[in-house]
Chain A
Amino acid sequence: MNGSSVSEGTGSPRQSAVASRWLPTWSTVWGYVSTERVVLLSAMLVVWVVLMRVLQASGSLSGSYDLSLLLSASYLIVPVTLLALGQMFVLVTGKGNIDLSAGGMVSIGSMVLGYTVGQWDWPAAIGILVAVAACAALGALNGLLAAHLGIPALIATLATSYAFTAVAVLMSPDNPISTPSVTSMSSALAKDVYVFGPERPPVPSLVLWLLIPVVLLTWVAFNRTPFGRRLYGVGVNDSAARFVGIPPKRVRFQAFVCSGLLAGAAAVAMTATYATASPTAGANLVFPAIAVALLGGVAFTGGAGRVGAVALAGVLVVFIHSGLLIIFDGIFGDVYYLLVLGLLLIVAAILNDVLTRRFSGS
């Protein structure tokens, strides 16, 4: 599954031995870039940043696309990447599994934080634990419906997505909760950290204490634990997994619970970032999350996907978003973001599909 196997036999026999040894052929390069998703995403990131710098030099941007903009926009990476990793847990187990309800879970998690910390003045740590536990319970509900009762995950989570959003809105009939205790929790959790020295632009603390540890934990879970191998195993071949004693239903159920846990973490991030517990906190988060997961090489057919590539895809998507916001005026930055995400999702789906077909042995 590496670049050289892709290019095997495609080189022309007339090519000189020296050239073919020292200069990679186009098919070698393409094989490497298409199979190593981290390389492809890094290349896209470089192309995008260069494009933005060129646009900035030609004076067609409304702001400056530099390090301080990217670092200040990086708080947006946190919820998107957390949810994308949640989608990865679910998507990797295959069988058409997907979690459309992640946004609804974030909304409910945010409202739980709003009630526990904001209204009842519980300590922030306990409120966060309760919110994450609530989201995990909602994920367990999804897992029950999709994995154990056999309802297609698309339909089950589409239904629960609207149900969760409805519950979040019903929990807060009037307005978002933004009491002083929520604000003080927010200022404790989300602040600027001057990692590179006091003169350099700051990094949002959520990236440091929430995103990076969670990404590392997820990487360990996928690559260094039996649980992670089971997730891949169930996704690659359901029956084979059953024959070696892995219960597919239970593994899929656990994947949905993990998606719920990560949605809970995203709810904490959203509430801390905006200093508000809002019933619409997760409204527009599911689509970017799924796009990021597929862009990161997670195949919808299951069994494939790497944590590092998903995290890098999260960075890429947020950097594209913050670029679009200064290319287009007013709401049009967000509007074009939808288009770009949609196109990226289609391209990623086609690429994942082509690679799966090529390497599935058929």
Chain B
Amino acid sequence: MAVMDISGRSAARIRAAVSRVDVQELAVLGGIVILAVALLLGTEGFGTSQNLSNVLYSASVKAIIGIGMTLAIVSGNIDISVGSATGLIAAIMAKVMLAHDVPFVILVLIGLVIGALLGCVNGFLVAVLRINPIIATFATLNIFAFGKQYVFGNDSQLLGVPSSLRWLGAPGQTLGIPHAWWIVVVLMVVAWLYMECRPNGRHLYAIGNSSDAARVAGVRVQRRVFGVYVVVGLCVGLAACCLVGSNSVVDVSFGSGFELDVIAGVVIGGTLIFGGRGTVFGTVLGTLLVALVANAVILFGLPSGLFPLVTGIAIIVAVMAGVIRERRRAAA
């Protein structure tokens, strides 16, 4: 993966992919622009650089996970344990940081390693034991929640967490844009190239369309699926690093409900919920739209309880759009 082979056939693939830019992605882009303009004209606080970087930061934490989730959903799987996995990793990292003075690089490595381990658990259950991904990740959602509660013990907050991960958190910015967002852009390009140009990446689409057909064609389906869950875990680890970096308080509610926002971003970005279709580019746009909606709820002074309602409706509308387009495609 270190060196991308972008020549000949791969270049042709990239051109073909660019020419296939999706209607839904354009619609989401349009939605983002319209909402942003409405917020800019309708409220006072939106245009400030503070608010914009906050929106970008909160979008990027979920977009990092969403990029991994896109791989999972495209391959016909799903991971609903990402929220409590985020909370568990954040809790462990906060404990480590409170106990020892650990340098930045080691901390990020710890986050990634724990994330990969949690991903291995999911991958083992789904790919090796062949448990249905919904049931398996629903079980690990609660097992990881147990782990998080266990780490927190009787506390509901860990206070005075050192700021070693500041560079990744909300305050860490270059050119007024949070570093987390730069990471999203890099991850998005890498994941996009992988899914469009590498055989292993193309296999994910094949598995999502029909895992039996993919297996017959020689794809090592279970190995790919295991890998996808490890990638989701790595993304979750990175997102947890960003969360811990932005605050000196790590709360027991960290990460809870993330799965809704992440899945919302993925399906709003045009990824077909049945698998086989979707891009990380759409996911990042979708996540940005979700973050803007959350910001709008706050700026317009609406009750914050409204946000999950809006997100839930948005998911249903987006999935419905995907289902209808797929029916049309099948009929054509």
Residues of A bordering B, CB below 8 Å: 96, 98, 145, 149-152, 154-156, 158-163, 165-167, 169-170, 173, 287, 290-291, 294, 300-301, 330-332, 335-336, 338-339, 341-343, 345-346, 349-350, 353
Contacts and interface: CB of A to CB of B under 8 A. Distances in A.
Given A159-B315, A162-B260, A294 B309 contact: no
Contact of A158 (B139, B263, B313): B263
A343 B78 CA distance: 19
B309 A163 contact: yes
Given A155-B273, A331-B149, A166 B323 contact: no
Contact of A335 (B146, B309, B323): B146
Interface residues of B, number: 42
B136 interface: yes
B146 A342 contact: yes
Contact of A151 (B131, B139, B306, B320): B320
Contact of B139 (A162, A345, A353): A345
Contacts of A165: 308
Interface of B: 78, 80, 125, 129-132, 134-136, 138-143, 145-146, 149-150, 154, 257, 259-260, 263, 267, 273-274, 303, 305-309, 311-313, 315-316, 319-320, 323
Given A156-B316, A342-B140, A350-B131, A166 B305 contact: yes
Given A346-B125, A349-B132, A162 B316 contact: no
Contacts of A159: 260, 311-313, 315-316
Contacts of B313: 159, 163
B139 A346 contact: yes
Contacts of B320: 149, 151
Q: Which of A149, A167, A301, A346 has the most CB of B within 10 A?
A: A346
Nearest to B140: A342
Given A154-B134, A156-B319, A345-B135, 15 more contacts: A149-B323, A154-B80, A155-B263, A162-B312, A163-B313, A166-B309, A166-B312, A300-B132, A331-B149, A331-B154, A338-B143, A342-B143, A342-B146, A346-B139, A350-B131
Q: Which of B78, B136, B305 has the most CB of A within 10 A?
A: B305
B171 to A, nearest CB: 30
Contact of B78 (A154, A163, A173): A154
Nearest to A288: B142
Contacts of B131: 346, 349-350, 353
B315 A350 contact: no
B273 A152 contact: yes
A155 B315 contact: yes
A293 to B, nearest CB: 11
Contact of A162 (B140, B154, B309, B323): B309
B142 A341 contact: yes
A332 B129 CA distance: 29
A163 B125 CA distance: 30
21 contacts: A96-B134, A145-B316, A149-B320, A149-B323, A151-B316, A151-B323, A152-B273, A155-B273, A158-B80, A158-B315, A163-B308, A166-B306, A170-B305, A287-B138, A294-B135, A331-B154, A335-B149, A335-B150, A338-B145, A346-B131, A353-B130
Q: Which of B136, B146, B149 has the most CB of A within 10 A?
A: B146
A341 B145 CA distance: 12
A163 B316 CA distance: 11
Interface of A is mostly: helix
A167 B303 contact: no
Nearest to A149: B320
A341 B143 CA distance: 8
A353 B305 CA distance: 39
A346 B138 CA distance: 9
A345 B312 contact: no
A341 B142 CA distance: 8
A170 B303 contact: yes
A155 B319 contact: yes
B107 to A, nearest CB: 26
B316 A343 contact: no
Q: Which of A154, A159, A330 has the most CB of B within 10 A?
A: A159
Contacts of A330: 154
Contacts of A149: 320, 323
A302 to B, nearest CB: 11
Contacts of B263: 155, 158
Q: Which of B136, B154, B307, B315 has the most CB of A within 10 A?
A: B315
Nearest to A334: B149
Contacts of B139: 291, 342-343, 345-346, 349
Nearest to B144: A342
B143 A163 contact: no
Contact of B142 (A98, A167, A287, A349): A287
Contact of B308 (A162, A173, A353): A162
A336 B147 CA distance: 9
B88 to A, nearest CB: 12
Nearest to B150: A335
Given A159-B260, A162-B309, A163-B308, A345 B138 contact: yes
B314 to A, nearest CB: 8
B321 to A, nearest CB: 11
Contacts of A167: 309
Nearest to A335: B149
A160 B136 contact: no
Contact of B138 (A290, A332, A336, A343): A290
